[in-house]
Amino acid sequence: MAVLQDFRNNVKPNWCPGCGDYAVQAALQQAAVKLGLEPHQLAIVCGIGCSGRLSGYVYAYGMHTTHGRALPFAQGLKLANPELNVIACGGDGDGMAIGLGHTYHSIRRNVNITYVLMDNHVYGLTKGQTSPRSDLGFKTKTTPTGNIETPVATLEMALSAEASFVAQGFSTQLQELTDLIVAAVKHPGFSLVNVFSPCVTFNKVNTYDWFKERLVDISTFADYDRHDKGKVLQCILEHEGLLTGLLYEDKNKKSYEEVSGLASDNQMQAVRKFTTAEFNKLLEDFR
Ligand SMILES: Cc1ncc(C[n+]2csc(CCOP(=O)(O)OP(=O)(O)O)c2C)c(N)n1
Ligand code: SF4
Ligand SMILES: [Mg+2]
């Protein structure tokens, strides 16, 4: 059985010291071990951003795709190879700006993959521009007098897209984050894990302390029911989305694979039997 060391490679991350993404990487590696995976059973598909570098730092299959396009790639990969555990990763710019359409449609489509969204409320890689998750009034080079656009409400958006699994973690809570990723990978459908992963270099507002002062863990609520969407939404609104834990789960929603019939053995056998010769003939037909 694989141990933590098996998911480590010798590539040194170029993240700034203190970046929240280190903890996300560690949680992901620990989750892989807890799930009993071998490196060849895991694929990490990233977008572009500091967060997008994560796939290069884990020993597993890794794809560094284009900005905002990790999710279409990840879904295609999963449908072509259902035995792979596919985790897509990216930042708030990647998933909530250029890739927002893919995020929304992936959630409602419900292909059995996990999406770990590293939300630092800023564009880190490109040196600190305002993102769709930046707070109102947030000042950067692109909003020198303060952001005037309402931030995207990630959790509410996910629920409106009929998400079947929504969790939220924080970089300092490594064990909790690991457990959320484990639960997300086990969930038989699209699972969103939004992680508050502070950018220590370009976001001096939403710092570790800022999140620590505001985040509330849902395990502190006596009567929290993650299967009651109305109440979950109400709780999210009351706390302005600043919650951690497994916030929502719908066990009845069928995955895309189930609904489409791709989950059945026959369908997948047909896909697998597709030979190189047949593929080349198909290409010829299109010439
Ligand atoms: C098509 C395209 N547009 C713009 C860029 C420039 N770009 C690279 S990363 C990025 C945003 C990064 O922010 P985020 O996704 O939040 O990731 P972070 O660096 O904060 O982890 C942008 C705009 C690009 N690489 N490709
Ligand atoms: S710029 Fe920000 S997001 Fe990027 S590595 Fe540095 S701390 Fe992390
Ligand atoms: Mg970002």
Does 16 sit in the ligand 2 pocket, CB within 6 Å?
Answer: yes
Q: Residues 282, 242: one domain?
A: no
Q: Residues 104, 125: one domain?
A: yes
Q: Residues 87, 41: one domain?
A: yes
Q: Residues 172, 267: one domain?
A: no
Mean pLDDT calculated for residue range 140-168 = 98
Q: Residues 88, 211: one domain?
A: yes
For strand 122-123 and strand 129-130, is the pairing parallel, antiparallel, or unpaired? antiparallel
How many domains does the chain fold into? 2
Query: What are the Cα distances from residue 228, in Å, to 107, 138, 231?
Result: 18, 34, 6
Residues with CB under 6 A from ligand 1: 48-51, 67, 90-94, 98, 118, 120, 122-126, 131, 199
> How far apart are the CA of 265 and the centre of ligand 1, in A?
39
pLDDT of residue 244: 98
> How far apart are the CA of 273 and the centre of ligand 3, in A?
42
Contact between 13 and 24 (Cβ < 8 Å): no
Whether pLDDT at 47 is above 70? yes
Q: Residues 277, 147: one domain?
A: no
Q: Residues 78, 200: one domain?
A: yes
Q: Residues 155, 269: one domain?
A: no
Overall pTM surpassing 0.85 (yes/no): yes
Tokens of 129: 């521009």
Mean pLDDT calculated for residue range 47-63 = 98
Contact between 27 and 178 (Cβ < 8 Å): yes
Q: Residues 264, 128: one domain?
A: no
Does 54 sit in the ligand 2 pocket, CB within 6 Å?
Answer: no
Whether pLDDT at 124 is above 70? yes
Cα–Cα nearest to 97, from 64, 61, 56, 48:
48
Does 143 sit in the ligand 2 pocket, CB within 6 Å?
Answer: no
Tokens of 263: 């989950």
Question: Which ligand 2 atom is at minimum distance from the Cα of 15?
Answer: 5
What CATH number is associated with residue 119?
A: 3.40.50.970
Q: Residues 180, 287: one domain?
A: no
What is the share, in percent, of the chain residues with pLDDT greater than 90? Answer: 92
Q: Residues 29, 62: one domain?
A: yes
Whole domain around residue 23: which residue ranges? 4-253
Does 171 sit in the ligand 2 pocket, CB within 6 Å?
Answer: no
Residues 241-272 pLDDT 10s? 999 999 999 999 999 999 998 877 667 777 66
Spatial distance between the Cα atoms of 119 and 86, rounded to a whole number of angstroms = 20
Spatial distance between the Cα atoms of 181 and 28, rounded to a whole number of angstroms = 7
Q: Residues 263, 248: one domain?
A: no
Give 202 or 278, the one with higher predicted confidence.
202
